[in-house]
Amino acid sequence: MKKVAYDPNGGKLWIRIDMTGIYFITYIYQMWAATADEHPILTKPLRQNSNELPQPDYYLIQNDYKPGEPLINFDKRVLDISFRVRKYEDDNGYKLRVSVLQGDDFNTAKVIGSSQIGYGTTATLGTDVTGKQEDILLQLTVKQD
């Protein structure tokens, strides 16, 4: 699981999801709590979309039970994005990338971390034949000065 260091005194946190490849790709994004005294999953409803429409997809990273809570509370929380990649006819390869950005406005926010599948080594379904699940996990951690 990749860690993404963020500035607790900085701007808002965003997640961006990019998908390429001629497949039916759907995904679910959710954020796991880091402590037992809060809801286990802080995303409600779970964010869900696909590569059907023009991309990228992006969301404000927030605790839906406490919108606007201080960023310091996001320490150790895990962003969990599970993809379902289903082919139609061909298995020519696909790429999935999840990026975390920080900045008050998404359009000017800076990428502070990312994780990806299919960059470098081409991702294909291979022996999974028609469809496959792919998971990308990113853990938020407070940036240490």
Partner 1 sequence: MSARKIIFILLSLISFRTSAQFKTDSTEHYLLNFSVPDMPAFKALGADPSNLLRPSDIQKFALSLSPFYSNGQGVIPRNFAVEFSPGKLASKNWTLEDYGKRKFWYNSSFSIGAIVDSGNVSSKLAVGYRFSIVRKKDDLLLNAAKRRAVFLAQQQAQLALREFKNNWIIIVHKEVPPAERAQYGAEHDKEFWDFAENKAEEYLRENPDTTLQASYNAFKKGYDTDKKKYYAAVDDLIEQFKSEHWNATRLDGAIAWVGQSRDSLIKNAGFASFNTWVTWALGIGKSSQLLLGGSFSLPRSEFKDSTFINATVNVRYYLGTSGFRGFAETQFKYQNYDNLDKSLLFNFGTEFRVAKSIWIVAEAGIDNYLKEKDPFSAFIASINLRYGFNQVMK
Question: Using CB under 8 A, which of 3, 44, 66, 86 touches partner 1?
Answer: 86
Our finding on whether 72 is near partner 1 (CB under 8 A) is: no
Our finding on whether 82 is near partner 1 (CB under 8 A) is: yes
Partners of residue 54 on adjacent β-strands: none
Which tokens hold the place of 115? 């994780």
Q: Which stretch binds partner 1 (CB under 8 A): 9-17, 66-74, 80-88, 102-110?
A: 80-88
Our finding on whether 8 is near partner 1 (CB under 8 A) is: no
Cα 39 → chain centroid: 19
CB of 4 to partner 1, least distance (A): 13
- Per DSSP, which regions of the chain are E strands? 2-6, 13-20, 24-32, 47-50, 57-60, 78-86, 95-102, 110-117, 131-142
Our finding on whether 22 is near partner 1 (CB under 8 A) is: yes
